Structure 1
Amino acid sequence: MLFEAGQRVVFIGDSITDCGRRDAHAPYGNGYMSLVRAFITARRPDVPLTWVNRGISGNTVRDLAARWERDVIEQRPDWLSVMIGINDVWRAFSDRAAEAVPLDEYEETLRTLLRRAVDATGCRLVLADPYIIEPDRGEPQRAESDRYTTVVAKLAGEFGALHVATQQAFDDVLACSPPSRWAADRIHPELPGHAVIADAFIRAVLEPPVVG
């Protein structure tokens, strides 16, 4: 495992990360972040870690920029996990299209935030893809989402980050099951859907790819 005893692991993102962490399910939420914490703790009880959830429902990368100093830099993470982009895409397909974040702005904003975090704290990064639980790659929102996923993979390479391929994880289960098994709206997972995300995250941390 890449995490070391005593490290601080901070998660930031939108509603998929939030999952009630500010109210009924404080402080970790009841989604993938809580599952990751639980299973890594269970598998490696010899590696005590501090876990912090800073997800806020509805956020785009613009919202992260507005709270980055408080919710990332001041948290002094050893590891920072970022999953953002679902709302950046989704808004373009809703009645809030003016709030959608264009791809170039998304990429440059996220790159700037990641550089700021690494330079200020020395943290290592975990970058998780935005996703949509939709098997048809030609469906307009899925096609647009895939462009943002490509950006995350690119930035993971630039920063030497762990890359959690959440879209691929959902594609794998969608090969033999309908989207409705995982989420009613293709975005907000039920617990099994959060388990899909958590499993991809845990595999990335516990079984990092061998380079060279």
Structure 2
Amino acid sequence: MTSTPAPRQSAAERLRAEHGPALALGNDCDLPDDLVIEIDPGAHLSLGNRVSIRRGSTIQVHRGATVAIGDDVAIGEHTFISAMTGIRIGAGAALSNMVDLHDHNHRARTTEYVPTGQLVPWASGFEAAPIVIEAGAIVSNKVTVTAGVRIGANALVGANAVVSHSIAPDTIAAGVPATGRRAFDGVPVPREDPRTLTVGFFGTSIMEHLEAVNAQMTTQADLPEVGSKVTVEGWSQRGWVHRLALSLRVAWPHVAFDVRNHGEGGATSRDVAKIVEADRATTGTDYDLVFVGCGINDVWRRFQGRMSEAVDLEEYTRHLTGMIGQLSGYARRIVVVSETPFGPIEDPATVTAMNAELARYNAAAAQAAAAHGALFLDVWGPFTTAARHLSGDLATLWSDGVHLTELGDTVLLQQTERLLAEHRIVEKLVDYPLLERDAALTTYGPMFAPYRPAGA
């Protein structure tokens, strides 16, 4: 009598039995017998439908972390995926052979992180940030993707690249580090939760720049007749901040920008400091990028004889230093913007004296920025140069000697865009910031909640 051998257990059946609810496995997946999956307590791995993984690959999901792999994803041979916070691979994406995804790094062995001097590799702990590979992206052979990186939809990363900064959608990237070489017209794919950067502005009316609004004034098909009257329906913020927000959205259409303009007309540094404090107390907003600029009203009030409102240089420096220090706790990048000079608001001798005093405040702002690791955007020189050459009428850049015309706003806009490009600020901010491992789990947990069982 011969016995019938038991049917061989498939890789999917083995993994379901081994990991239980910690693994969500879709239908019709093609998985090799030697696939290694390690899921620590509190971690979760989900594989969508029709996922294909080749031999020799490993997926590690450390405690509390999440790995979410979408439908129709293909993963090549000997690929290694390791998560301490979260890794997401969108539908239809592909990882070729020997790709390495690690969303974490060892922290440096400093005395702060290893106070006892313990000589083991993990003594300093880890820092982590998510990796997101969007739908339709292709990652070629032997590519390394580091923590905090987002690879856009349809992007193609060439072989042997090291992706240490995010790659835009519909882009071919290559090199060490990988950079975009050219863009192409990508096919439509699902776009999930685009990266959002929160940008704040704290300053005076030069940032606030209110304009009267009537919808008919801006509706090209229904403009009012010349000489007719319209009713002011409200106020809207325009100026260089508004134009910069538009410029960012056009230059980075795959990124969402949450722009918050806290500029206030007539504000001194004393007032702006209160606005910064109130914003933090009431909204608790964490900013990716903040612009701070004040001082012109501190000086102007003294020349107007409004001494109770004037702010001397010592107090101004104290307020600005305090703001930069406070913002440093919850803003990833800070730019201190110098004030623009006074135009023909008084007689020439008085304006010269006002500008000489305001220049001292700008110098103090530059020193405060440097002391706190903030960038300083000096618009004084470009502004005065433009005023001198654009026209013999110095009022070209000012509407009233203080507030700016569209030309004046354009000077600020161009200088700001130049600074952002020179320091590659937006490129770096698109990356998810590295955080201590447990802090990363808390901060980035909501990104991965939809891919975990309810309540997990």
TM-score of Structure 1 vs Structure 2, range by shorter chain: 0.7 to 0.9
What's the counterpart of residue 13 of structure 1? 203
User: 1:21 deviation in Å?
Assistant: 7.9
Residues 150-203 of structure 1 show CA distances to partners (whole Å, capped at 9, x for unaligned) of 011112211222221121221220231332111133210111111111111111
* Segment drifting more, 77-86 vs 42-51: 42-51
Which residue of the other structure, out of 300, 318, 323, is the alignment partner of 1:108? Answer: 318
What's the counterpart of residue 270 of structure 2? 62
Residue 402 of structure 2 corresponds to residue 187 of structure 1: yes
Residue 305 of structure 2 corresponds to residue 95 of structure 1: yes
Q: Secondary structure of 2:238's match?
A: coil
User: 1:72 deviation in Å?
Assistant: 4.5
Q: Secondary structure of 2:196's match?
A: coil
Q: Which amino acid aligns with 2:261?
A: N
Residues 97 and 184 from structure 1, CA distance in 2 versus in 1: closer, same or farther, beyond 3 angstroms? farther
Q: Secondary structure of 2:261's match?
A: strand
* Segment drifting more, 68-77 vs 139-148: 68-77
Q: Unpaired segments of 5 or more residues in structure 2?
A: 1-167, 169-194, 213-233, 425-456
User: 1:65 deviation in Å?
Assistant: 2.2
Residues 8 and 181 from structure 1, CA distance in 2 versus in 1: closer, same or farther, beyond 3 angstroms? same
Residues 86-143 of structure 1 show CA distances to partners (whole Å, capped at 9, x for unaligned) of 1011111113133111001101111012101212x14320110012144989910010
**C-alpha distance in structure 1 between counterparts of 2:399 and 2:324, whole Å:** 32
Residues 46-195 of structure 1 mapped to structure 2, 5 A cutoff:
46-72=254-280, 74-119=284-329, 121-134=330-343, 139-176=352-389, 177=391, 178-195=393-410
The two structures have a TM-score, normalised by structure 2, of 0.42
User: 1:63 deviation in Å?
Assistant: 0.7
What's the counterpart of residue 235 of structure 2? 24
What's the counterpart of residue 208 of structure 1? 423
Q: Which amino acid aligns with 2:386?
A: V
The two structures have a TM-score, normalised by structure 1, of 0.86
Mapped contact 2:324–2:369 kept (Cα < 8 A):
no
Structure that is richer in helix per residue: 1
**C-alpha distance in structure 1 between counterparts of 2:246 and 2:398, whole Å:** 22
**C-alpha distance in structure 2 between counterparts of 1:132 and 1:98, whole Å:** 23
**C-alpha distance in structure 2 between counterparts of 1:123 and 1:72, whole Å:** 15
**C-alpha distance in structure 2 between counterparts of 1:88 and 1:190, whole Å:** 22
Residues 86 and 72 from structure 1, CA distance in 2 versus in 1: closer, same or farther, beyond 3 angstroms? farther
Residue 253 of structure 2 corresponds to residue 45 of structure 1: yes
**C-alpha distance in structure 1 between counterparts of 2:250 and 2:242, whole Å:** 12
Residues 32-66 of structure 1 show CA distances to partners (whole Å, capped at 9, x for unaligned) of 10011111222222332211111111101111222
Larger radius of gyration: 2
Q: Secondary structure of 1:163's match?
A: strand
Q: Secondary structure of 2:305's match?
A: coil
User: 1:69 deviation in Å?
Assistant: 2.4
**C-alpha distance in structure 2 between counterparts of 1:21 and 1:71, whole Å:** 23
Which protein, 1 or 2, shows the higher relative CO under an 8 Å CA cutoff with sep ≥ 6? 1
**C-alpha distance in structure 1 between counterparts of 2:404 and 2:355, whole Å:** 16
Q: Secondary structure of 2:339's match?
A: coil
Q: Unpaired segments of 5 or more residues in structure 1?
A: none
**C-alpha distance in structure 2 between counterparts of 1:126 and 1:114, whole Å:** 9
Tell me the C-alpha RMSD between the 2 structures. 2.5
Q: Which amino acid aligns with 2:335?
A: V
**C-alpha distance in structure 1 between counterparts of 2:271 and 2:260, whole Å:** 18
Q: Aligned pair count? A: 202
